Structures are given as C-alpha cells and as structure tokens.
Amino acid sequence: METEVGESAIKPIRKHKKIVSGITISIFILLIIYFGMAIYFMNHFYFGSVINNINVSGKSVEDVNKQMASEIQTYKLNIKERGGKSEQIRGAQIGLKYDANADFKVLKDKQNPYKWIWAVFNTKDSKMIAKVKYDKDLLKEQVGRLSCFDSSKVVEPKNASYKYTEKGYVIVDEIIGNKGDKDILYNYAIDAVSTGKTIIDLESINYYVKPKYTSKSLKVVATRDMLNKYVSSKISYTFGEDKEILDGTTINKWFTVDENNEITFNEKYVESYMDVLASKYNTVAKTRNFVSSSGKKINIGGGSYGWSINKVKEAKDLISMIKEGKSIEKEPAYYQTALARGNNDVGNTYVEIDLTGQHLWFYKNGKLITQGDVVTGNGGSDKTRTPSGIYKIDYKETNATLVGENYASPVKFWMPFNKGIGIHDASWRSNFGGGLYKTGGSHGCVNSPYEVAKTIFNNIEVGTPVVCY
C-alpha cells in the first residue's frame, strides 16, 4: 500500500519538471536567435531598409555603397503616358550623382542592432533619402523634349457639346485629349529624381488637362433638355389663307451655347426672320395691280395703306414663346392692318380717285355708294400736288377748319388720308371736274361736292383705302 501511494505522488512532480525544462530551453533558443540577429545587424541593415526607394535589406554598408553607385549609374525615370505609351529620362542625361556628403553609414548607425525586433513594427529608422545632385536645367530640357509636349501630337481636351438631329438635340461626348501641364510633370520629375523614384504615372498625378464638362455633367444634361424644349416649339403664323411654319429646323440656328453651357439667343437671327416675313407679307407702299372703274388695269405703288408687321414686338413675343416651348397658331403683331388679304388687299370697299379725270367713286362691299367730279391739287407744284398711291382714312371729323399758308377754310366733312391731305366738301366751289385743278386747284386735298362728301362721310370707316392714280 505505501509503495503504490508514493509512485502516484511522484508523477506530477516529473510532469512539472518537464514543462519547466521545455520553457527554459525555448527561452534559451530565443535568446540565441535574438542575440544572433543582433550580432548580424551590427554590420548589416535592417530587413526592409530602403535608401532612395532602393531595397538594401540585410546588406552591409560596403555592399550598399557598391549597390547605390551602380543603381545611380543606370537610373532612369520611366514616364507612363496615356494610351500605353512610355518615355524615359536617364540619369546620365541630367548629370545625376550622389552628393559627396551622402553617407549610407549614417542610416546604419541609426539602426540599433539590439532593437531589430522593434524595426519590424516601426520603419522610421529603415528608410533614408540620400541627397543627389543633378542639373535642373538639363532636367527641364529633357522634360520639354518628351513627345507628350509635341504640338503635332497633342490633342486638346474638349467639353461635351450638342448636335441637332431630326429627333432634337443629342449630347456629343467630350474629347479627353492628351494635353498636359508641363509644370506639374516637371515638379514631379524633380521629386522623383531627388528620391530615387523610377516611375511617374501621368494619369495618377493629374497631369492631363481634363474637360470641364462631360456628357454626364448635370449642367450639360440640363442644357440639352432646355435646348430640346426650345426646338420643340412650333409657331404657325397665319396670313389669311397662307401660313408660315416656324419649328426646330430653323429655331436651332438662332442660339449658341457658350463654354459654361449657357444658352444665348442671337436676336439678330430672330430679327432677320421678321424681316423675311415683313418683306413677304407687308403691303404698305407696295405696287399693286388695280382695275379702275373704267376697266383699265393700273399699277399703283406708294401710299400708307396696307399690312405692316410690328417686327420689334413680334420678335420679342417670339423669343418668349420659344423659351416656353409653345406650339401655337397665331397672327403676328401689326403696326397696322388692311381690310383684305392677298395680292388685292384693297378689297371691295374703297374710295377711288382719278387725278387725271378729276373724278371720285366710293364703293362699299362691292357696291357703288356715290361718285362725282372733284377738284384736286395742282400737279404743277409739289406743295399743292395730290400724290398718287394707296392710302387709308386716318380719322373723320365734322365742322373742321383747314388752316394753311394764307388760308383758313371751314368744312363740314373732313376725312384726311395723307397727313394734311384729305377728302372734304368745298362750299366755296360751284363747279368741279374738268381742268379746274390746273389753274384753280386745291392745296392738295380732294374738294368734293357737298352731297358726295356727306355720303362718303356717313358710310365710310376709318382705315378704308383711298386709291389715287
């Protein structure tokens, strides 16, 4: 019994001794490794040591001196450009060499061999920038010689733009180009050469000049939508039975988009469009074919009667309608209108005056209302001549007094149609017609018998054409 109890008590003691022995051996091995590495790093750089971006891990100062001398002799700066192209600047081209004071042992001396474990976690003493010397002018010259600065090969960046199509405006993609900023590259080259870097990626250093606006820019999309709103407008101008349709095929030529995607209406184009409408549909002073009461066909030009578009107001209204994207059928704004449309806008209500025959007719809705002989101005003098042309009754007035040089004539019915020239009764005359106007004509007015003037006055409306020939 006693023997068995003693053996069972001894077993835990033996197990404990084995554990302690194992730990002791492990610590001893670790100490050997630690001090062994410490002895190694007395003459070698830490693992992970870098000088001017060159790995010198585990090398002696002597080896590093040789390596760095070799590296600087073969140094080249690789410049990666857009499109997979690359160019190089070699150290020999810029006189690159280490500064005479560059001492790699300085870095080694900072590396405490007994702190090599801490170096794994703190790389402060594992990196060094050794000063180099080079000719900055030569570097600048080499940078300038790079083909990426060759004007014949440089493609300017271009903002996204707009193109008008049958379906409206579409965005034209921007041009990325390959133009860059020489100063940016030069400054990066200085940094690279000074620190031993061997690669400059032009894309990553934002060397390339970028378009300000791309096809995805919110401003570009908004401007396209606004342009499409404008060209969606459709204005149908009516001129009696005739129409002039204005739509996007013409409107798209009237505005420009600046570099900031702001839309500007070129009002000159709008004004030109109004000029076209006016030249086509204005009839004031235009020569017309007129069939006289005697059946004779006469060409008559001049005068104040006819259609006249208010181009200034209509241009302003038109721009407003386009900006609102309206589709509308309308007549343009007019300074004045006529009684009829077409080539014969005189219509069938008018006063006809034959200056040679000294006779007047008044038609209303095609029916002869009255007629009679008259006395007009003396054709021998510009001051007293009754001019030919087609005019309109400006207004009507009863019991008026006509005042001129050396005369004041009261009349019962006054109907001016050409400034101070008009149709009126002439109580001071007992005879009309014939050749009276040649020797005793009026001062330009159309003197009419009382009843003729009265009938015209009571039946005529302001704006009625007066045809003088």
Active-site positions?
424, 445
Q: Are 448 and 425 in contact (CB under 8 A)?
A: yes
The backbone torsions φ and ψ at residue 130, rounded to the nearest 5 degrees and listed phi first, read -90, 130
Long-range contacts of 360-366 (CB under 8 A, 24+ apart): 360/423, 360/446, 360/448, 360/452, 361/293, 362/452, 362/455, 362/456, 362/459, 362/460, 364/459, 364/460
Give the burial class of 56: count Cβ atoms within 10 A of its Cβ; 0-12 exposed, 13-18 middle, 19 or more buried: buried
* Contact of 387 with 378, CB cutoff 8 Å: no
First to last CA, the chain: 163
Give backbone dihedrals phi and psi of 18, rounded to 5 degrees, phi first: -65, -40
Burial profile 451-468: b = 16 or more Cβ within 10 angstroms, e = fewer: ebbbbbbeebeeebbbbb
Q: Alpha-carbon distance 70 to 93, whole Å?
A: 16
Return the amino acid letter for 368. Answer: L
Q: How many CA atoms lie within 13 A of 197 on its CB side?
A: 11
- Confirm if 227 and 219 have CB atoms less than 8 A apart: no
Residue 168 DSSP one-character state: E
Instruction: Match 């149709």 to its residue by tokens.
Output: 423
Q: Is 434 left (phi over 0), alpha (psi -120 to 50) or beta?
A: left
Residue 463's identity, in one-letter code, is G
Q: How far apart are CA 394 and CA 465, in angstroms?
A: 10
Structure-block tokens of residue 301: 């030009």
Kindly report the backbone phi and psi dihedral angles of residue 114, in degrees, each rounded to the nearest multiple of 5, phi listed first: -85, -5
Integer Rg of the chain from CA:
52
